[in-house]
Amino acid sequence: MSEPLLKNIIDDAESDPPIFKTWKRLYAAVLFNLALLVVLFYFFGKAFQ
C-alpha cells in the first residue's frame, strides 16, 4: 500500500461516526437496541406459547 492511501484509511478509522457524535454513544445505542429486541421477543414468545 502506498503511504497516502494508508494514511486515509487510518484517518477514516479514527473519525467520528456518521450518526452519533461519539463511538461510545453509537455502541450504547446498539446495545440498547439489542436489549430492547431481547425483551420484545421474550414477551412475543410468552404470548404465543
pLDDT given at position 43: 98
**Whether the Cβ atoms of residue 22 and residue 16 lie closer than 8 Å to each other:** yes
SS3 for the chain is: CCHHHHHHHHHHHCCCCCCCCCHHHHHHHHHHHHHHHHHHHHHHHHHCC
Is-above-0.85 flag for pTM? Answer: no
Cell of 3: 503511504
Give the domain extent around 30.
3-47
User: Do 20 and 26 form a contact (C-beta atoms < 8 A)?
Assistant: yes
Number of structural domains in the chain:
1
For residues 32 and 38, the answer to whether their CB atoms sit within 8 Å is no
For the chain (49 residues), the mean pLDDT of every run of 10, in chain order, is 66 77 94 99 97
